[in-house]
Chains A and B, each alone.
Chain A
Protein backbone atom coordinates (compact mmCIF):
# COMPACT_ATOMS: atom_id res chain seq x y z
CA UNK A 1 0.00 0.00 0.00
CA UNK A 2 1.15 3.53 -0.77
CA UNK A 3 2.04 5.61 2.28
CA UNK A 4 1.60 9.37 2.34
CA UNK A 5 3.93 11.43 4.53
CA UNK A 6 2.71 14.94 5.14
CA UNK A 7 4.74 17.73 6.73
CA UNK A 8 4.76 19.64 8.89
CA UNK A 9 2.17 18.17 11.26
CA UNK A 10 1.39 21.67 12.47
CA UNK A 11 2.48 25.23 11.86
CA UNK A 12 1.81 28.68 13.24
CA UNK A 13 1.40 31.54 10.83
CA UNK A 14 0.05 35.06 10.65
CA UNK A 15 -2.59 36.52 8.40
CA UNK A 16 -0.92 37.45 5.12
CA UNK A 17 1.83 34.84 5.40
CA UNK A 18 2.70 32.45 2.61
CA UNK A 19 2.21 28.86 3.79
CA UNK A 20 3.54 25.68 2.21
CA UNK A 21 2.55 22.13 3.09
CA UNK A 22 4.19 19.10 1.53
CA UNK A 23 3.13 15.53 0.91
CA UNK A 24 5.41 12.71 -0.16
CA UNK A 25 4.22 9.41 -1.57
CA UNK A 26 6.09 6.17 -0.91
CA UNK A 27 5.94 5.45 -4.64
CA UNK A 28 5.03 7.36 -7.77
CA UNK A 29 1.38 8.34 -8.06
CA UNK A 30 1.51 10.44 -11.26
CA UNK A 31 -0.59 13.50 -10.38
CA UNK A 32 -3.37 11.55 -8.63
CA UNK A 33 -3.41 13.65 -5.50
CA UNK A 34 -5.95 15.92 -3.91
CA UNK A 35 -5.84 18.45 -1.09
CA UNK A 36 -8.64 18.88 1.45
CA UNK A 37 -9.37 21.46 4.11
CA UNK A 38 -11.20 20.53 7.30
CA UNK A 39 -12.46 22.86 10.00
CA UNK A 40 -13.41 21.59 13.48
CA UNK A 41 -16.68 19.69 13.53
CA UNK A 42 -17.10 19.93 9.77
CA UNK A 43 -16.67 17.60 6.82
CA UNK A 44 -13.56 18.02 4.68
CA UNK A 45 -13.70 20.22 1.60
CA UNK A 46 -11.91 19.58 -1.67
CA UNK A 47 -9.47 22.36 -2.57
CA UNK A 48 -7.18 20.94 -5.25
CA UNK A 49 -7.56 17.89 -7.49
CA UNK A 50 -5.13 16.23 -9.88
CA UNK A 51 -2.28 17.82 -7.89
CA UNK A 52 -2.67 21.30 -9.33
CA UNK A 53 -6.26 21.94 -10.48
CA UNK A 54 -8.30 24.35 -8.39
CA UNK A 55 -11.72 23.08 -7.39
CA UNK A 56 -14.60 25.33 -8.45
CA UNK A 57 -15.34 28.02 -5.89
CA UNK A 58 -11.99 27.75 -4.10
CA UNK A 59 -10.06 31.04 -3.79
CA UNK A 60 -7.08 31.46 -6.09
CA UNK A 61 -4.71 31.96 -3.16
CA UNK A 62 -4.70 28.16 -2.93
CA UNK A 63 -2.45 26.34 -5.37
CA UNK A 64 -0.98 22.90 -5.74
CA UNK A 65 2.04 21.50 -7.52
CA UNK A 66 4.00 18.34 -7.94
CA UNK A 67 3.99 15.02 -9.69
CA UNK A 68 5.33 11.56 -9.01
CA UNK A 69 6.19 11.43 -5.33
CA UNK A 70 6.45 15.04 -4.11
CA UNK A 71 3.57 17.46 -3.84
CA UNK A 72 2.98 20.90 -2.37
CA UNK A 73 -0.04 22.91 -1.28
CA UNK A 74 0.60 26.64 -1.09
CA UNK A 75 -1.57 29.36 0.41
CA UNK A 76 -0.18 32.58 -1.02
CA UNK A 77 -1.60 34.96 1.58
CA UNK A 78 -3.16 33.31 4.61
CA UNK A 79 -6.62 34.59 5.52
CA UNK A 80 -8.46 34.22 8.86
CA UNK A 81 -10.81 31.62 7.38
CA UNK A 82 -7.86 29.45 6.29
CA UNK A 83 -6.98 28.34 9.80
CA UNK A 84 -7.85 24.68 9.59
CA UNK A 85 -6.35 21.23 9.10
CA UNK A 86 -5.21 20.21 5.63
CA UNK A 87 -4.93 16.69 4.25
CA UNK A 88 -3.54 15.22 1.06
CA UNK A 89 -5.12 12.12 -0.47
CA UNK A 90 -3.56 9.77 -2.98
CA UNK A 91 -6.20 8.34 -5.30
CA UNK A 92 -3.79 6.67 -7.69
CA UNK A 93 -4.56 3.14 -6.59
CA UNK A 94 -6.38 1.30 -3.83
CA UNK A 95 -6.21 1.46 -0.91
CA UNK A 96 -6.49 5.23 -1.22
CA UNK A 97 -4.58 6.95 1.57
CA UNK A 98 -4.63 10.30 3.34
CA UNK A 99 -1.64 12.08 4.76
CA UNK A 100 -1.57 12.58 8.51
CA UNK A 101 -2.77 16.17 8.26
CA UNK A 102 -1.29 19.62 8.86
CA UNK A 103 -2.93 21.90 11.39
CA UNK A 104 -2.52 25.56 10.50
CA UNK A 105 -2.83 27.71 13.62
CA UNK A 106 -2.83 31.42 14.29
CA UNK A 107 0.51 32.87 15.36
Chain B
Protein backbone atom coordinates (compact mmCIF):
# COMPACT_ATOMS: atom_id res chain seq x y z
CA UNK B 1 0.00 0.00 0.00
CA UNK B 2 1.36 3.40 -0.98
CA UNK B 3 1.81 5.66 2.04
CA UNK B 4 3.10 9.21 2.34
CA UNK B 5 3.47 10.59 5.85
CA UNK B 6 4.44 14.22 6.41
CA UNK B 7 6.00 15.54 9.59
CA UNK B 8 7.85 18.57 10.86
CA UNK B 9 5.08 21.13 10.90
CA UNK B 10 4.48 23.46 13.80
CA UNK B 11 4.45 27.03 15.03
CA UNK B 12 7.33 29.26 13.94
CA UNK B 13 7.94 33.00 14.16
CA UNK B 14 8.17 35.18 11.05
CA UNK B 15 11.66 35.01 9.64
CA UNK B 16 12.21 31.58 11.13
CA UNK B 17 12.93 28.23 9.51
CA UNK B 18 11.33 24.81 9.44
CA UNK B 19 12.11 21.54 7.71
CA UNK B 20 9.30 19.31 6.57
CA UNK B 21 9.74 15.61 5.87
CA UNK B 22 7.66 13.13 3.93
CA UNK B 23 8.27 9.42 4.55
CA UNK B 24 7.29 7.20 1.64
CA UNK B 25 6.51 3.50 1.67
CA UNK B 26 4.78 0.88 -0.44
CA UNK B 27 6.45 1.82 -3.72
CA UNK B 28 9.88 2.30 -5.29
CA UNK B 29 10.43 5.86 -4.13
CA UNK B 30 13.51 6.40 -6.27
CA UNK B 31 11.46 5.95 -9.46
CA UNK B 32 8.99 8.77 -8.88
CA UNK B 33 9.00 12.54 -9.05
CA UNK B 34 7.60 14.15 -5.94
CA UNK B 35 5.98 17.45 -5.12
CA UNK B 36 4.88 19.70 -2.29
CA UNK B 37 1.45 21.36 -2.43
CA UNK B 38 0.07 23.67 0.24
CA UNK B 39 -3.31 24.98 1.32
CA UNK B 40 -3.75 28.06 3.47
CA UNK B 41 -6.62 27.87 5.99
CA UNK B 42 -9.93 28.11 4.14
CA UNK B 43 -8.20 28.66 0.80
CA UNK B 44 -7.46 26.70 -2.34
CA UNK B 45 -4.56 24.48 -3.32
CA UNK B 46 -1.21 25.97 -4.30
CA UNK B 47 1.57 24.04 -6.00
CA UNK B 48 4.87 24.72 -4.21
CA UNK B 49 7.73 22.65 -5.60
CA UNK B 50 8.69 19.61 -7.66
CA UNK B 51 11.72 17.32 -7.71
CA UNK B 52 12.48 14.59 -10.23
CA UNK B 53 13.32 11.04 -9.24
CA UNK B 54 17.09 11.60 -9.32
CA UNK B 55 16.94 15.23 -8.15
CA UNK B 56 18.11 16.38 -11.58
CA UNK B 57 15.14 18.67 -12.13
CA UNK B 58 13.79 20.99 -9.45
CA UNK B 59 11.11 23.67 -9.79
CA UNK B 60 9.54 26.20 -7.42
CA UNK B 61 6.56 28.48 -7.31
CA UNK B 62 7.55 32.13 -7.53
CA UNK B 63 6.07 32.68 -4.08
CA UNK B 64 8.71 30.46 -2.44
CA UNK B 65 11.66 30.70 -4.81
CA UNK B 66 14.85 31.65 -2.98
CA UNK B 67 13.37 30.79 0.42
CA UNK B 68 12.37 27.12 0.15
CA UNK B 69 14.54 24.17 -0.91
CA UNK B 70 13.18 20.81 -1.94
CA UNK B 71 15.37 17.72 -1.63
CA UNK B 72 15.12 13.97 -1.34
CA UNK B 73 17.07 11.02 0.00
CA UNK B 74 16.23 7.96 -2.06
CA UNK B 75 18.15 5.70 0.30
CA UNK B 76 15.85 6.80 3.12
CA UNK B 77 12.67 6.97 0.99
CA UNK B 78 12.21 10.54 2.13
CA UNK B 79 11.27 13.91 0.67
CA UNK B 80 12.11 17.20 2.36
CA UNK B 81 11.18 20.86 2.23
CA UNK B 82 13.53 23.30 3.91
CA UNK B 83 11.64 26.51 4.54
CA UNK B 84 13.58 29.66 5.45
CA UNK B 85 12.59 33.30 5.93
CA UNK B 86 9.06 32.22 6.70
CA UNK B 87 6.22 34.70 6.38
CA UNK B 88 2.68 34.78 7.71
CA UNK B 89 1.41 33.96 4.22
CA UNK B 90 3.30 30.64 4.33
CA UNK B 91 0.84 29.43 6.96
CA UNK B 92 -0.80 26.37 5.43
CA UNK B 93 -1.21 22.65 5.46
CA UNK B 94 1.64 21.21 3.42
CA UNK B 95 1.04 18.03 1.46
CA UNK B 96 3.57 15.83 -0.25
CA UNK B 97 2.29 14.21 -3.41
CA UNK B 98 3.57 11.55 -5.77
CA UNK B 99 3.60 12.14 -9.49
CA UNK B 100 1.96 9.35 -11.47
CA UNK B 101 4.50 7.32 -13.42
CA UNK B 102 1.99 6.65 -16.19
CA UNK B 103 1.88 10.26 -17.31
CA UNK B 104 4.81 11.90 -15.47
CA UNK B 105 2.16 14.38 -14.41
CA UNK B 106 -0.79 14.34 -12.02
CA UNK B 107 -0.67 13.55 -8.33
CA UNK B 108 -1.91 10.03 -7.80
CA UNK B 109 -1.09 9.73 -4.08
CA UNK B 110 -1.07 12.36 -1.35
CA UNK B 111 -0.04 12.45 2.27
CA UNK B 112 -2.37 13.59 5.04
CA UNK B 113 -0.62 16.95 5.36
CA UNK B 114 1.28 18.79 8.10
CA UNK B 115 0.27 22.22 9.39
CA UNK B 116 2.76 25.07 9.39
CA UNK B 117 1.77 28.18 11.31
CA UNK B 118 3.89 31.31 10.99
CA UNK B 119 3.00 33.76 13.72
CA UNK B 120 4.65 35.88 16.38
- The proximity string for B residues 101-120 relative to A, scoring 1 for CB distances below 8 Å and 0 otherwise, is 01101111011110000000
B44 touching A87 by the CB < 8 A rule? yes
Interface bin, chain B:
20 to 34
Contact of A38 with B by CB under 8 A? yes
Q: How far is the CA of A42 from the CA of B61 in the complex (A)?
A: 23
A91 touching B44 by the CB < 8 A rule? no
B100 touching A101 by the CB < 8 A rule? no
B47 touching A89 by the CB < 8 A rule? yes
Contact of B1 with A by CB under 8 A? no
| CB nearest neighbor in B for A42 | B112
Q: Which residues of B contact A43 (CB under 8 A)?
A: 95, 110-113
Contact of B11 with A by CB under 8 A? no
Contact of B78 with A by CB under 8 A? no
Give the residue of B45, B60, B102 whose beta carbon is less than 8 angstroms from that of A44.
B45
Q: How far is the CA of A60 from the CA of B100 in the complex (A)?
A: 20
Query: Which residues from chain A sit less than 8 Å from chain B, CB to CB?
Result: 1, 32, 34, 36, 38, 43-46, 49-50, 55, 87, 89, 91, 94-101
